[in-house]
Amino acid sequence: MLPITGRSLTFTSLQGNLNTSVKVCLLILPVCWLFICLIGCGSIPERDKSPLAEIESGVYLPVQGELDSDIEVSQLIKPYRDKMHAVMDEQIGVAMKDLERGLPESLLGNLVADAILLQARQSSEVPVEMALTNSGGLRVPLLPRGPIVIGDVYRLVPFDNRVVILTMSGRQIEELAKVLVGFGGQPIAGFSFQIHQDELSVSNIKVGGEPLDPDRVYRLATNDYLVTIGGKWELLQRAENRRDLTVYLRDVVTQYIRDQKQINPIIEGRIIYAAPK
């Protein structure tokens, strides 16, 4: 059996070690005594002066690395750490320029939205015209120029979100554009519109370069988080149909970068602010 060692206890066996039992008891008894005191008093001791009070109040407490490293633990996890680095450090493409996150449109947002749209089109038997994701879901502000590794994608889209294809009417797409105005824009692909900042309204909505048809049915690819969260995104829950793909968003972005190799998105005017009237 693999021995498990620590600073105060040494477990050499799971059976019949009297010294270990005594040490465990000595550790457990004070904890039990404290628990009984708390129950008897019926209240928790004042914590305003404790470090927890600072944590609960939202004060940032940086980790200074003051704890000594455990050599045995480090050696134990080294094979797994090495395997993880081998995967995460694999180069999958090259960013030809700095890809920044921003609104109403950004290079980083266009990259992810384009990846979603391409995956949805490859996975659907019927046309998928548009894609949408949320800028807040892109967890790094910048993907710098140069090599892109898998670890970069995991930092960019770390959550287990999946791609969803929604069937929506033209009128719902118009309503969606108005929702995006409230956010100051969001990463989109396959459609475009203008924001009138003075009126908080939209105009010139186009899908695939063609004017939006209010009576037509369209398909929008997005992530399941936006469909589930509700609130300002509640409109997505009213889609006429929903199809969930089994692929994770980060895998979609990874494959897109692999296929493209050289990543060089441009600002296309997908969402722009119209000149004041």
* 8 found inside a domain: no
Q: Does any domain span residue 96?
A: yes
Q: What is the Cα–Cα distance from 92 to 86, expressed in whole angstroms?
A: 13
Give residue-wise pLDDT tens across range 9-63.
333 333 444 344 444 344 444 444 444 444 444 433 343 433 333 334 455 556 5
Q: Could you give the CA distance from residue 117 to residue 103 in angstroms, rounded to a whole number?
A: 19
Q: CA 65 to CA 67: how far, in whole Å?
A: 6
- Assess whether pLDDT exceeds 70 at residue 249: yes
Could you tell me the CATH number of the domain that includes residue 114? 3.90.780.10
Mean pLDDT on 189-203: 90
240 falls within a domain: yes
**112 in a domain, yes or no?**
yes
pLDDT > 70 fraction of the chain, expressed in percent and rounded: 75
Q: Is residue 199 part of a domain?
A: yes
* 187 in any annotated domain: yes
Residue 3 inside a domain? The answer is no
**Res 237 pLDDT > 90:** yes
87: confidence class by pLDDT, cuts 50, 70, 90: confident
* Total of domains in the chain: 1
For residue 140, the model assigns a pLDDT of 95
- pLDDT tens column, 96-121: 999 999 999 999 999 999 999 999 99
Mean pLDDT of 238-252: 96
Assigned domain for 250 exists: yes
Strands 4-5 and 91-95: unpaired
Which contacts of 110-114 are long-range, i.e. CB under 8 A and separated by 24 or more positions? Answer: 110/187, 110/189, 110/265, 110/266, 110/267, 110/268, 110/270, 111/143, 111/253, 111/256, 111/263, 111/265, 112/138, 112/156, 112/157, 112/187, 112/249, 112/253, 113/187, 113/188, 113/189, 114/189, 114/256, 114/265
Tell me which residue range forms the domain holding 246. Answer: 91-273
Whether pTM exceeds 0.85: no
Helix axes 107-123, 249-260, angle to 10 degrees: 100
For residue 23, which of 36, 32, 34, 10 has the smallest C-alpha distance? 10
